Structure 1
Amino acid sequence: MEEQLAVLAATAANSVVSSLSTDAWARVKELVVGVWQRHRPDEEAAAESATDAALDVLRDSPSEEEESRLVEAWQERFRALLDAEPAARQALDALVDELAAERAEQAEQAEQAERAEQGDDAPAQHIDMHAEAKDGGTVYQAGRDMHVKPA
């Protein structure tokens, strides 16, 4: 298996296992089963069973050792899928991207909830800053308060 596909299989396995232990487990299951449904429909039931089994393990005994075993098992499943159906590469890329987006959204929601608990109800802002200093110039940037004292 080419190295890029092996990395994709490993990334997908890590993403699936880590996402199954979140509140988004139903969406993770839907995405995983959907990959098999599109590329290996004859193995769809097995993928669904494997997802359910992984979810049970993560709920019953969420140890690092169990999680590592699950990642290895999913990595092998994804490698086998990619060996049998190279076209599944795009579907796995999309799965990884969507799970990363879901984790980022959950992290943002958790951060907002924490700020609300602390009494800071101001919504998070996205700040994109770009600067370029030329001819010995100095650039100062800050996402919030900044106090600059002349030298």
Structure 2
Amino acid sequence: MDPEIAALAGTAGTTLVTLLATETWHRVRNGVVALWQRALPDRAPAIAVELNSARDDLIGAQSLGDRSTEAEIAAEWQGRIRRVLAARPEVASELRALLIELAPNQAVAPSVSQHATASGEARIYQAGRDLQVGEVDGR
């Protein structure tokens, strides 16, 4: 799977679960169901029911201070979103727009893809952000 799509699915799943416990959860549910309706229409009604169930589970877990259940719900939705994006990658831009609409203060980070090939005694240093390289043993 494209790393950018995988990153988008991770962000979307986490954002979705975070927003399910807020007052905007109806908009979240409607937006996600609309996305499924365009991508996999036969699954959209079940997704609505599953989102309602996930919200109930999430609120129950939060009331008990159960962070592991919250993380499990997020992981479950990350997987579902990843699978819908794998089946219909053309809805990725729609998902990005939905995330920006629902959570404008949470930027959908661009993905960084790095590739390198080394041979012989070559060294490759790559970082998505800060990188400090120090020599050890005179090498």
TM-score (norm. length: structure 2): 0.70
- Structure-1 separation of matches of 2:69 and 2:102: 21
- Structure-1 separation of matches of 2:40 and 2:94: 12
Match of 1:70 among 69, 73, 76: 73
Corresponding residue number in structure 2 for 1:149: none
Deviation for aligned residue 1:88: 1.2
Does structure 1 residue 80 correspond to structure 2 residue 83?
A: yes
Report SS of the residue matched to 1:78.
Answer: helix
| 8 A contact 2:28–2:102 mirrored in 1 | yes
Runs (4+) off by over 3 Å = none
Report SS of the residue matched to 1:87.
Answer: helix
Aligned amino acid, residue 64 of structure 1: R
Deviation for aligned residue 1:92: 1.1
Q: Percent identity?
A: 36
Gaps of 5+ in 2: 107-139
- Structure-2 separation of matches of 1:7 and 1:47: 21
- Structure-2 separation of matches of 1:58 and 1:79: 20
- Structure-2 separation of matches of 1:80 and 1:49: 18
Per-residue Cα deviation, 1:94-124 (whole angstroms, up to 9, x for no partner): 12111212x68xxxxxxxxxxxxxxxxxxxx
Q: Which has the higher contact order (CA 8 A, sep 6+)?
A: 2
The structure having more radius of gyration, on CA atoms, is 1
Corresponding residue number in structure 2 for 1:49: 49
Corresponding residue number in structure 1 for 2:2: 2
Aligned amino acid, residue 76 of structure 2: A
- Structure-2 separation of matches of 1:47 and 1:95: 16
| 8 A contact 2:5–2:82 mirrored in 1 | yes
TM-score (norm. length: structure 1): 0.65
How many residue pairs are counted as aligned between the two chains?
A: 103
Corresponding residue number in structure 1 for 2:119: none
Gaps of 5+ in 1: 105-151
Report SS of the residue matched to 1:6.
Answer: helix
| 8 A contact 1:12–1:95 mirrored in 2 | no
